[in-house]
Structure 1
Amino acid sequence: MFSGTLTLAGLVVRRDRWLLAAWAAVAVAVPLFNAYSLSALLPTRQARADFAVASAANPITAALLGPIHDLSIEGVVAWRSSLQSLLIAGLAGLLFAVRHTRAEEDAGRRELMAAGAIGRQAPVTAALAVIAAVNAAVTLLLTAALALGPGYDLAGSLLFSLTAGAGGLVFAACGLVTAQLAQSAALARSLAVGVLVAGVMPGVVVPDDRIGLLPAGWPRIAGPYAEGRWWVPLVPLALTVALVLTAYALSARRDIGAGLLPDRGGSTGPVRAGRLLRGPAALAWRLSGGQVVSWSLTLAVMSVGVGWVSASFDARFGDLPLVGELLGRLGRETMGDALIAIFTYVFCLVVACLTVVCALRPYTEESRGRAAPLLAAPTGRTRWLAGHAALGLAAPAAMLLAVGLGTGLGAGRPWAVLAQTGTTLLFLPAAWSIAALTIALYGLRPRLVVPASWTVVVASVAFVALWEAKVIGREVFLLTPFGYGHPTISPGPVAPAAFALSAAVLLVVGGVAFRRRDLMA
């Protein structure tokens, strides 16, 4: 049943050694960065006390992170880093779990391995072993970094790291369970991410005295640099064991490639398509339209919350010089407007990432062998790719429109709806250029499109950080997709028009290249 587990674990590490290293590096770097930045920003106890009062007055901050009980610099850093560490460990763990279980079945490699000396539970066990090893390594590295770097208490640092690592294992185990339930990797990831969001954002509906029942409350109860409750990491570890046993039970009872929850991408459907499924564009919508709608609704709800908070931002933070100085750099009339500008830009960056996911759909269809039968029929290559490209261009428009309407309606000012909608749609050429670049890479070098597309997005985000740190100049920053939409820059019509034109050129390049190359074997 478990034969071949060590061999599979070694293969997993060899395949994803750079991803594992990046996961560990980010998980250690984020709390360490918070430690040094908050030490410089809040050097005195009085400054931390004022910061705690201001944070408690912010509904979003209070809901996500809870109140600051420990006013020591270690306690403030742990409060600030707890949700971030849980998100990093949880998201990386669940994506990794699905990647090496259900995604392997979708690609057909799991069935080939099952024909050899590989036990039925070996893939689940190998993925779990690698995830646990990475979390253990992050725990040790983060503990040493906090103790040797800023000089925090060793025991408190270990408890903070253990709580984050154990919480991440819970979501990784959720990924293993959803991989057994879902019929596709996309559906398994969506379900696991939904569990993650439900676990880390409960403060809106769950009272603070009951928050300990959910993952977001575990770091609060642990109190690593105050009370030091060492039994708290045992709770997520016990939940992890229960979820892993569930994953084992489901894996032992289902067929390879099957799942209890069907997915549109894996269902056969009727013999003849209906009127609404006649053409590549309709097929693209059936495959990815549900995701676009769910993403748009999620962004709309979050945007309404941001707009609602901004309406009372001045009254809550007007007397805090530190926040006023930070938000005043944006050149807005009120701090509420500055808050909306910041979050709108963040939402636009999220939309850009989701745009890449939509634009990669043709690659997914071709790599899984579903494009070849369609292209062997009267459907032409250009028409098939145009259907997916149309959805890739329409998706960011819908999501940006949802962000603009949400922030404007949440602010409660009629003029804000039009202003915010215009601001978000101004980012549309940048999102289109990213989608078009993905299509062009798919047509030119399909096997490199996934790493190359995400590298472009990560590099663009890095340029945002370099601009805000004043490392690069305005001219260089405006050459990146995220440059002209930054809240500190007043864009003219040239930059959006240039990115819209580049998107059109890249789409033509991708279409021509796709027509001339062979399909992936």
Structure 2
Amino acid sequence: MNALTGTGTLLRLGLRRDRVMIPIWVLVLASFPITTLSSYQGLYKTQAERADFIAGVNGNATQLAFYGEAHSASLGGLTAWRMTTLGVTLLAIMTLMLVVRHTRAEEEEGRLELVGSGVVDRHAPLTAALLVAVVANAALALLAALSLAGQGLAGAFAFGLAWFAGGFFFAGVAAVAAQVTENSRAARGITVAVIGLAFAIRAVGDSSEGAGWLTWLSPIGWSEHVQAFAGNRFWVLAVPLVLGAALMASAYGLIGRRDHGAGLVPSRPGPATAAPALRSPLALAWRLQRGSLIAWVTGFAAYGVILGTMADGVRDLVGDSEGTQDIVTRLGGASDLVDAYLAAMVGLLAGIASIYGVQAAMRLRTEETAQRAEPVLATGIGRVRWACSHLAIALAGTLAMLLGAGLMIGLAHGAATGDLGGEVADELGAVLVQVPAVWLVTAIAVALFGLAPRFSVGAAWGLAGTFLLIGQLGPLLEVSQAVMDLSPFTHVPKLPGGTVTATPLAALLAIMVVLIGAGLYGFRRRDIAT
């Protein structure tokens, strides 16, 4: 055998396994640039209006920290400013999920050992995983570039290549992480930490006077320095591409330095007997999901501080642009600009929190297919009790995330306005009314797990992404109310600034209970690992 024997077969297998997830990621993310362009086209019709907006952006430290510096007042330049750093961050997350899924996760669950017993070289799984990630990144970058081609081919392809190069680099990071650790959770944690550090370094560099050089130390900052639709500096792409290739080569070198199933850094052996606090299914679920939940809660709290800090400057940033005021009002549903902005951001946070709810609920399916559920269920613990332990983490986790974000938004905004108690109460109320919609999305995932387990992962993620897309793009594109009503987030009050109606909240909670009951009933009746 040569070093790549079996790669083609594993590549086809990987693309087939991700035939639902990859198209969803690609289509959803590729829609962001063109919808952003369309919104700016309606908001700022003249070059002078766009120049005034950019002047406000580049003078606002919070905007610079979040999106980076705007380099051009053209429509393409505004789109690149808004979507480059955000897009590269999302591509990095997509890439790490793909690479770790087809390398360390497969090895951890024992499937690579079965595959390796055939005519497959040991390097083939890593090669196939990287090719799956590269294909997904290339398809996404190409679609994004083509959607912006009307603003100038050079700028459009600079934008698309900046996205691709960022994803390519983080594919190398994920490949190395998969060799260092013994389990997929740690590999994902390492890669997410690198992404977070890269974003933080870039944010400090962009928002701090005299610290611009820091952005050259950030992989996300490299994509920003391409300056699509402004400088179109294609030479900057060599940095992430060369370093990404070096990381991938290092990953290949590390394969030969470890045993199959092991990592370069061995895991510490646990105690021979479990502590009393770990002798229940809920304690086990907490032990398995605590790292992810703590990271999500911390991220939401940090994002809440940013949103609360930005709120007081929304009026200055929007200025006299009636189009921007109209968009913010449509998203937030309030007449007051600051209230509408905060309501829109809380709605976005709720949509993102539902992603965690699906992730935590789908841990049931992961434990089941990895055959870790069977030993637990072979004891005196029943199926429903075991499933409810992970469901409790999902529901309590989303609530904790939203409460943390609401508290931080209220504290940050209240400190700026001098009404600390009032703002905290308003923002906590704003996030609490979103909870039934978030829980309903989690309940859908549980129902799919119990009633249609083979399709549960793809369908749950697809529906969560669809609801998020409808909530964020529906008001901007003025889609029909019938389509908007498909999302549970359409039916919650928009606070602060709106009025609270109990009927839709009660209806969402009732549907949630029915779906959870159906999912638990289906799981109790069906075979394990079907």
Measure, in 1, the Cα distance between the counterparts of 2:384 and 2:27: 42
| Counterpart position of 2:518 | 509
Amino acid of the structure 2 residue aligned with 1:300: A
Q: Tell me if 1:173 matches 2:201.
A: no
| Counterpart position of 1:431 | 438
1:394 aligns to what SS in structure 2? helix
Question: More deviation in 5-14 or 160-169?
Answer: 5-14
Q: Tell me if 1:419 matches 2:426.
A: yes
1:259 aligns to what SS in structure 2? coil
Measure, in 2, the Cα distance between the counterparts of 1:351 and 1:110: 33
Q: Tell me if 1:281 matches 2:282.
A: yes
**Could you tell me which of 449, 459, 468 is aligned with 2:466?**
459
2:216 aligns to what SS in structure 1? helix
1:23 is displaced (CA, Å) by 4.4
Give unpaired runs (5+ residues) of structure 1: none
TM-score by length of 1: 0.90
CA gap of 1:44–1:304, structure 2 versus 1, over 3 A, is: same
CA gap of 1:202–1:339, structure 2 versus 1, over 3 A, is: farther
Q: Is the 8 A contact 2:43 2:321 kept in 1?
A: no
Q: Is the 8 A contact 1:443 1:513 kept in 2?
A: yes
Measure, in 2, the Cα distance between the counterparts of 1:404 and 1:135: 34
2:119 aligns to what SS in structure 1? coil
Question: What are the residue-to-residue correspondences of 1:34-49 with 2, within 5 Å?
Answer: 34-49=36-51
1:50 is displaced (CA, Å) by 0.9
Measure, in 1, the Cα distance between the counterparts of 2:21 and 2:446: 24
Q: Is the 8 A contact 1:345 1:485 kept in 2?
A: no
Question: More deviation in 389-398 or 28-37?
Answer: 28-37
Q: Is the 8 A contact 2:104 2:184 kept in 1?
A: yes
Question: More deviation in 118-127 or 28-37?
Answer: 28-37
Measure, in 1, the Cα distance between the counterparts of 2:447 and 2:21: 25
1:248 is displaced (CA, Å) by 1.3
| Counterpart position of 2:251 | 247
1:479 is displaced (CA, Å) by 6.1
CA gap of 1:311–1:41, structure 2 versus 1, over 3 A, is: closer
Question: What are the residue-to-residue correspondences of 1:179-198 with 2, within 5 Å?
Answer: 179-198=178-197
| Counterpart position of 1:7 | 9
Measure, in 2, the Cα distance between the counterparts of 1:419 and 1:141: 41
Percent same amino acid among aligned pairs?
Answer: 35
Question: What are the residue-to-residue correspondences of 1:465-484 with 2, within 5 Å?
Answer: 465-466=473-474, 469-473=477-481, 477=484, 480-484=487-491
1:276 is displaced (CA, Å) by 0.8
Give unpaired runs (5+ residues) of structure 2: 206-210
Question: More deviation in 233-242 or 496-505?
Answer: 496-505
2:225 aligns to what SS in structure 1? helix
| Counterpart position of 2:226 | 222
Measured on the aligned residues, the alpha-carbon RMSD in Å equals 2.7
Measure, in 2, the Cα distance between the counterparts of 1:89 and 1:77: 17
Question: More deviation in 206-215 or 100-109?
Answer: 206-215
1:333 is displaced (CA, Å) by 6.2
Measure, in 2, the Cα distance between the counterparts of 1:134 and 1:363: 25
1:204 aligns to what SS in structure 2? helix
State the Cα deviation string for residues 102-152 of structure 1 (Å, max 9, x = none).
1211332100111122111111112223333444455555555543xx251
Question: What are the residue-to-residue correspondences of 1:221-370 with 2, within 5 Å?
Answer: 221-260=225-264, 269-315=270-316, 317-329=318-330, 330=332, 332=334, 334-370=336-372
CA gap of 1:483–1:198, structure 2 versus 1, over 3 A, is: same
Measure, in 2, the Cα distance between the counterparts of 1:408 and 1:8: 50
Amino acid of the structure 1 residue aligned with 2:412: G
State the Cα deviation string for residues 161-202 of structure 1 (Å, max 9, x = none).
222211210011111111122322233223222322322343
1:205 aligns to what SS in structure 2? helix
CA gap of 1:262–1:283, structure 2 versus 1, over 3 A, is: farther
